[in-house]
Structure formats: C-alpha cells, structure tokens
Amino acid sequence: MIDFELTRKDRELLEAIRREALVARSYARHYDENEHEFPPDELPEAKDFPSVFSLFAGRGKEDTGMGVISMLLTAGQTWGDYSVRMRRGKGGLGNAALRAAGTPAQQEKWKDLTLAMAITEPGCGSDPSAVQTTAVLDGEEWVLNGEKIFVTTGCRADGVVVWATVDKAAGRAGIKSFLVEKGTPGFIVAHKEKKLGIRADDTAAYVFKDCRIPRGNLLGGEEAIPKAGSGGFRGVMKTFNMTRPAVAAIGLGIAEAALDFTRDQLREAGVEVDYGAGIGGQSALVRRFQRLEALYEAAMLTVLHAAWLSDHGKPNNTEASIAKAKGGSAVREITQGCIEILGPLGVSREHLLEKWFRDVRITDIYEGTGQIQRLIIARDILGYSSSELR
C-alpha cells in the first residue's frame, strides 16, 4: 500500500528546510535583478543553521523513502527561491547520469566534480535523439564537434556529460554520452544565457571544436559502442526517471509559495478561505482559489507516486513523465491564477509573485517539454513505438 505519511524525523527535516528557505527568499529579488551575479555557495546566515543533511543521521527503515523525502525537500527549498540556497550542494544533472551509467572507474574519477548535462542544440530541442554534435574515434581519442545551448549549471560546472552521435544513420543507437572537463582544448563556454525566469541560475552555451578527449571518457565504457548499452541513449535516459519528478517538485515548491502568499493577501483583505463550507457557501473568488490548491495537491501526488515507485525498485518511466507533464502545467496555471486573483498586487515588483510566475515556466520546458511527456505517456498506454506515434 502506498503511504506518504511522514515520520517525526522527516517532519523535522521539512521544517528545517523551510526555515532555511525563508532566509534564501530574502535574497531572491536581488539575484533576480542582478543576474550577472552568482548566488554564493553558502549564505552568510549559514553559520546559524545546522546543515539539513546532518539531520539525515539516524533515519531508519521506518522513515520515508529517500526518493519521496528528496522530492519534498526539493519543493521545500524552492518554496524559498529557485536559485538561492542556504548552502549550494555540489553536483548537477551530469552527476545523475554518471551515477546511472558510469563505470566504477568513471564514478570514482569524476565523483567530486560538478557535472552539467549538454543535450539541447540550436536545431534540436525536445528530441534528444536528433542531436547533431558528433564524436569521431581517432586512435585513443574521441574528437567532438558541435554546439550546445541552455546547459543548466553550465558556467559553474567543472565538466559536462555531452550527448553526441557516433553514427547519425543509427539514430538513437548512435547517441552516446561523453565526459568532458572544463579547460579541455576545443571546449568553449560561449556565453551565459539571459532568460525570462530563473535569472540567477546559470545557463550556458557551449561550443566543441575539434575537442579531443581520452577514449575512456565514453560514459559507460567500451561496451556502449556496439549497442545502446549503459552508456548509450537508453542508459542515460534512465537518469530522467528521477530528475523529471524532481523538476516538477521544483515548480510545485514555487507554486506553493504563490498559494501561501495569495491566501495571506486574501485574509488581509477580509476574505477567509473556509474549508468547511460547501460550494454554495463560498464566493467565486474563493472557489477559484480552492481549485488552484486542489491542482497543487493532485500534481504533488503524481511526483510522490513516481518517487515511491523508485524507492521500491519498481519501474517508473511513465509515472515520471506523468509527474513532469502534470507538474509543468499545474504550476503555470497556479501562479497565473494567483496573479489574476490578486490583480495589480500580483504583478507588482514589490512582491515575488510575478517572479515566481516567470520562474515556474522552465519546469514545463527542460528535461523534456510537457508535449514530449504526453507523447511518452500515450505511447506507453497505447503500446506504440516512437516511430508509430510522433
């Protein structure tokens, strides 16, 4: 039976992350308006807050699974701000790929580096199998050529897991992933992207021009060459089975902040949200707000479901896409709905609601757009292949 009831220890964890998030929120506007600055790895107030991760000590089998509690902690952090953290942990999406598909030797060598993931290209967005960046084996080296855009953590990262094709005619089977460290000749960080939202989160464009890396930097090792093995398209795609629900959790943390702010503003205006009254006893305004709350709850349950399946060693590919698709659309509707309920107050830069509206937009875009997630879900339910249902 699926049970998301939290233990006392886990409630303490979530309360601690919320306290940190409130401090981080006080820096949110500054870094939104000064996107050329990177938020510090540790806020000055960190000395007054014990590390949340130290509270993990003593967790037992009776406590919530790591996947589920990680989703709740992620949402708790972004309830404060998307980009600012009390303490910024090391690691990026590339580290998840390394854990999922790297050989033991690769994991040992690269584990202490922050790794970005470079997939998207100027002519290749939501279909990663269409990447044009090439990798050609030349003796004991791979030679990379191509461009990548919208690389999350691209400026801060120490290196990157870059997707490239070793055989364009092979389609997905020809897509492999390669570990490339910053400073490698031919690896150029072209520029930092300017964006609508998550402005303080660094996003970069990369260029690879005759970039030579050791043969051993093929993620997953040599067995990834003849087939779509651990280092191939399928192997690294498994990374998304937990990162896609996490992306939804990021957006839902922000959406919850928007709901909390809107509820407080309604209360100050003398509008109480009465959860005991029936439909006929509520104003249209309150009914609309309650619908947004219900949308949040439904989306969060899809995230926790996907994480619970992972915690119990069950397949969750479809559920991960459901969480991503539902979360991405829900957070847009929630933040926009809150703005519409509050009117001019919702778009005022004196408050963070308009920023939250801009920030959540990314959660329906990266790591596979909502449209792509719906294709994945439909293929699974209807039993179609990617070539049969596009």
Say how far residue 158 (Cα) sits from the centre of its chain.
19
CA atoms of 199 and 35, how far apart (whole Å): 5
Query: How far apart, in whole angstroms, are the C-alpha atoms of residue 73 and residue 96?
Result: 17
- Of the residues 20, 256, 319, 367, which is catalytic? 367
DSSP letters spanning 20-81: HHHHHHTTHHHHHH-TTSPPPSB-GGGGGS--GGGGGTT--TTSPPHHHHHHHHHHHHHTT-
Catalytic site includes residue 272: no
Per DSSP, what are the bridge partners of residue 208? 146, 187
Contact (CB, 8 A) for 316 and 217 = no
Tell which residue, 321, 329, 328, 293, has the closest CA to residue 305: 321
Rounded Cα–Cα distance for residues 30 and 43 (Å): 13
| Residues linked to residue 101 through DSSP beta bridges, in sequence order | none
Outline where 118-239 has alpha helix (H). Answer: 233-237
For 193, which DSSP code?
P
CB 248 within 8 A of CB 324: yes
- 8 Å CB contact between 299 and 252: yes
d(CA 334, CA 317): 26
Structural tokens at position 219: 């993620």
- The alpha carbon of 124 is separated from its chain's Cα centroid by a whole number of angstroms, namely 19
Between CA 300 and CA 132 the distance in angstroms is 36
Residue 382: both structure tokens together = 């209807």
For the annotated catalytic residues, the residue numbers are 367
